[in-house]
Structure 1
Amino acid sequence: MRHFQLPKFISGLDYFILILALLLTAFGIASIYSAGIDSEGVRFSNEYSKQIIWAVSGLGIMIAAMALDISRLKDYTVFAYMAILLLLLYTRFAGRVVNGARSWIGVGEYGIQPAEFAKIITILFLARYLDLSDQSSSFKRLIASLGITGIPVLLILSQPDFGSALVFFPILIVMLYVGGIDRRYILFILLSIGFTFIFLMLPLAGRYFFPGGNILDLFFQRPGYVVMLSGLFLIALALSLWGWLVFKKQYYFWLSYGLSVLDLSIVLALAGHKVLKDYQIMRLMVFLNPNVDPQGAGWNIIQSVTAIGSGGLAGKGFLQGTQSHARFIPQQSTDFIFSIIAEEWGFLGGLLLVALFCFLLYRMLGLVSSTKDRYSMLVCGGFFGMFAFHFMINVGMAIGIMPITGIPLYFISYGGSSLWAAFMAIGFLLGISSRRYRM
């Protein structure tokens, strides 16, 4: 008697990834449904119905992506990369302004956010480069990777959409790590990002944390002093490089390394102040102390934390949230959707959501380690970095331990572009999982 067997493509799928994506999507639709009801029980928003439509169409996108063998399509990613750069450039000058950023294109009330798809295409193209350049030096691969990632980042920053641009950096770091880049270069990027963040906030920090004025306030509110400090660092860097080249001492190398981080961070921070607006920088700062601007940028965090705390252990029950239904929480269906979940389902509901995401990330890591094709392994690493960063930042924003950047929670937050991008990534991951032992 012959036993029925599923086709190899279907039987090899990582069904855990598929089921987790569907569970999270259902979780998100229910939360968006609740976010659209006010304190009197009157529905003021039909966002949930749009989210259902986007979820169904997203499943079609997922199936199409799953059917593609990306290892055979990698040579075509250069064309997709060029196309998305042109689309980002078009968006910069002819896009629709939403929440202060010109980051949308579309007709009428329908539109998409190209930055969401730029993340995926950049991952596919960067993976191709890292795969083909395996024999090149780490420094050369690092510079090229920074260029590949930096072009879409600059275009997105010019919109300006700081949150979407920020996601590219964890993607880059994870892919460089998976691609075997020298760990010292990866540490250099991490340190540069950290110090850029510090130097970016210091001028406003001096203004808000020290309203009476002090040395820190005086120094960082005067750009000339910052430029002078950067110049001194450059001179010290030149001297340390000379010492390293002449004497070949290791401590000269690490001195040059540290000064390079500081110089680059100051330059990037100064550029950030030219591109970003004060309210965007303030969003980064209020997570340190929301009370520096309780009626402005700090309001979001204060109300979100209040809602989460009021949920207790088991929550107030589905559709019973008071903070969310009184509409105290801004962007409650997008940026702060987690606060609704924690208020209505409590600590246990929030823990369940975190567990589902962590399990999804765990399955992605499993693909990174198990797939035989190097290109597919790099793609999986990029998607892991993307999903992990979205998850950590969005949940961190809601509980007040991460800066407000406007990054959505994949599958949960309201929005068609982010949901489609998430399903597209899941489709590629499922396709890789079905072929991982045959590549």
Structure 2
Amino acid sequence: MKNRILSKFDFILIACVLILTSIGITFIYSSGINSDGILVSNEYIKQSIWTGIGLVIMLSVALIDYRKIYRYTPYLFAAALAVLVYTRFFGRYVNGARSWIGIGDLGIQPSEITKIIFILFLASFLDKNYNENQRKRFFFSLLILILPMGIILLQPDLGTASVFLPIFIFMCFMANVPVRYIMIVILSGFLTIFFTVLPIWETEIYHGSIPIIRALTNFRLRMLIIAASLAVTVAGILGQIFFKKKYFYWITYVFGIISFSLLASAGAGKVLKPYQIQRLIVFIDPSSDPRGAGWNIIQSKIAIGSGLLRGRGFMQGTQSHYRFLPQQSTDFIFSIFAEETGFIGGILLFAVFFCILFRIVYIMKQTTNRFGYLIASGILGMFFFHFIVNVGMVMGIMPITGIPLPFLSYGGSALLTNMLAVGILMSINNRRLDFKVAL
């Protein structure tokens, strides 16, 4: 009996999680020490408690047949959306976003657990409609993406909302959704960011006027271009209907993406908070505001660089203990780790993360259940994006988005969500040879 239970656990994943959470608690403790060597924060105690709860959740979920949730995913998704709407209007403000609910000091971030529910529901939808019309399948999947992402953007929590995109892309690709449809999301995202950043770059960094960019800053010109692009899109649609020519499809495809991106960038300019716009500016040029919004990136790069090969030693970092790094136990935990353990420590940390990613790929290759396969692909996209963006952010090669480093950053909601994800992965791996969904 004991051996049967033990066989249900993936000890490679468990070992990686224990290593990362132990490192996280250790360096959250280090971040709480000030320049006089006095502990001024009890965050490491809370993180230890959350880790214990998370491990229980992870191991418990590993023992449950994940396939039994298949029929309930629509109800879970509807409930998650309802909680997100409630949070948008009645939640508490934390770091500029109304994204938390709770009582007193106890609170959760519903958007974190929504990521897992989104993965489960999208996996069930893509599996159930695997042989349906691909265009219809894609656009219904897109609606599933837009609903939670849109509500989270209204909180506004740009960082958490952005995580849904790579999850969606990974899952659609693995579900054999045609690449040309997936590219609609990718190209629309990049063009929206590009059209949003250009006017900011012109006014805040270039400090001049460029005629071609004026179309994005002048309201009338922008509306004229959007109207023209929409007209070409409609003409392309009509051309497909009446003439059945392939080139009309690609006209619709290209100008539809441009039209959406122009409209979305106009909306982004209205929705983005001043501090979020400032983050985009300092990403392009940190020296534009070295004592303000650019401070985080500059100090983080100094901390990472000062670690050199072997680091300054545990609790010997200057950037964290002299409080040069804001949010050092959450978004910038890697900066502290790199300063105190150096390049060698960073490489070892990377190795553990990539071990998790490769293990997920192995589970995907081994499972014969498409529902489980798609769930694992979504979790892979989530972990990969969190890791790449957080590390890129603290190194100054990606904008600051407030995305935590999985298993290391301080925070209960994110940690419990990640533990839950690993538990689901173990459940999939344990039932990898079972083809049918258990209803």
Bucket of the pairwise TM-score, normalised by the shorter protein: over 0.9
- CA 1:239–1:78 in structure 2 vs 1: closer, same or farther (change >3 Å)? closer
Task: Give the structure 2 partner of residue 180 of structure 1.
Answer: 176
Task: Give the structure 2 partner of residue 415 of structure 1.
Answer: 411
Supply the distance in 2 between the matched residues of 1:218 and 1:149 (Cα, whole angstroms): 33
Find out whether 1:37 has 2:55 as its counterpart.
no
Match of 2:206 among 201, 206, 210: 210
Q: What displacement does 1:240 show? A: 3.7
Find out whether 1:6 has 2:16 as its counterpart.
no
C-alpha contact (below 8 Å) 2:8/2:63 kept by paired residues: no
Which residue type is aligned with residue 335 of structure 1?
A: D
Report the more deviating stretch, 362-371 or 251-260.
251-260
Q: What displacement does 1:22 show? A: 1.1
Find out whether 1:150 has 2:176 as its counterpart.
no
Q: What displacement does 1:239 show? A: 3.4
Which residue type is aligned with residue 192 of structure 1?
A: S
Residues matched between the structures, number = 435
Match of 2:270 among 254, 268, 274: 274
Task: Give the structure 1 partner of residue 430 of structure 2.
Answer: 434
Match of 1:48 among 26, 39, 44: 44
User: How big is each residue's C-alpha offset from its partner over 1:77-133, in whole Å with a ceiling of 9 and x where there is no partner?
Assistant: 112111111111111111010111000001111100000000001101111111100
Match of 2:127 among 120, 131, 139: 131
* Identical-residue share of aligned pairs (%): 46
Supply the distance in 2 between the matched residues of 1:251 and 1:353 (Cα, whole angstroms): 49
3-state SS in 1 of match to 2:101: strand
Task: Give the structure 2 partner of residue 195 of structure 1.
Answer: 191
Task: Give the structure 1 partner of residue 317 of structure 2.
Answer: 321
3-state SS in 1 of match to 2:100: strand
Task: Give the structure 1 partner of residue 63 of structure 2.
Answer: 67
Task: Give the structure 2 partner of residue 395 of structure 1.
Answer: 391
Supply the distance in 1 between the matched residues of 2:145 and 2:214 (Cα, whole angstroms): 36
Supply the distance in 2 between the matched residues of 1:348 and 1:90 (Cα, whole angstroms): 45
3-state SS in 2 of match to 1:376: helix
Q: What displacement does 1:214 show? A: 3.5
Report the more deviating stretch, 101-110 or 269-278.
269-278
Supply the distance in 1 between the matched residues of 2:61 and 2:222 (Cα, whole angstroms): 48
- CA 1:5–1:115 in structure 2 vs 1: closer, same or farther (change >3 Å)? closer
C-alpha contact (below 8 Å) 2:301/2:395 kept by paired residues: yes
Supply the distance in 2 between the matched residues of 1:246 and 1:146 (Cα, whole angstroms): 27
Please report the TM-score for the alignment, with normalisation by the length of structure 2: 0.95
Supply the distance in 1 between the matched residues of 2:156 and 2:2 (Cα, whole angstroms): 52
Supply the distance in 1 between the matched residues of 2:420 and 2:74 (Cα, whole angstroms): 18
C-alpha contact (below 8 Å) 1:391/1:410 kept by paired residues: yes
Match of 1:264 among 260, 266, 269: 260
Supply the distance in 1 between the matched residues of 2:8 and 2:309 (Cα, whole angstroms): 39
Q: What displacement does 1:431 show? A: 1.0
User: How big is each residue's C-alpha offset from its partner over 1:371-394, in whole Å with a ceiling of 9 and x where there is no partner?
Assistant: 111101110011001111000110
Which residue type is aligned with residue 156 of structure 2?
A: P
| CA root-mean-square deviation | 1.6
Match of 2:162 among 160, 166, 177: 166
Please report the TM-score for the alignment, with normalisation by the length of structure 1: 0.95
Which residue type is aligned with residue 289 of structure 1?
A: D
Supply the distance in 1 between the matched residues of 2:244 and 2:39 (Cα, whole angstroms): 71
Task: Give the structure 1 partner of residue 219 of structure 2.
Answer: 223
Find out whether 1:234 has 2:206 as its counterpart.
no
Supply the distance in 2 between the matched residues of 1:312 and 1:254 (Cα, whole angstroms): 51
C-alpha contact (below 8 Å) 2:202/2:208 kept by paired residues: no
Which residue type is aligned with residue 174 of structure 2?
A: V
Supply the distance in 2 between the matched residues of 1:313 and 1:302 (Cα, whole angstroms): 20
User: How big is each residue's C-alpha offset from its partner over 1:1-49, in whole Å with a ceiling of 9 and x where there is no partner?
Assistant: xxx9821x53253221111111111111111111111111111111111
Q: What displacement does 1:251 show? A: 3.9
Supply the distance in 1 between the matched residues of 2:392 and 2:211 (Cα, whole angstroms): 32
Supply the distance in 2 between the matched residues of 1:238 and 1:78 (Cα, whole angstroms): 34
Supply the distance in 1 between the matched residues of 2:86 and 2:223 (Cα, whole angstroms): 34
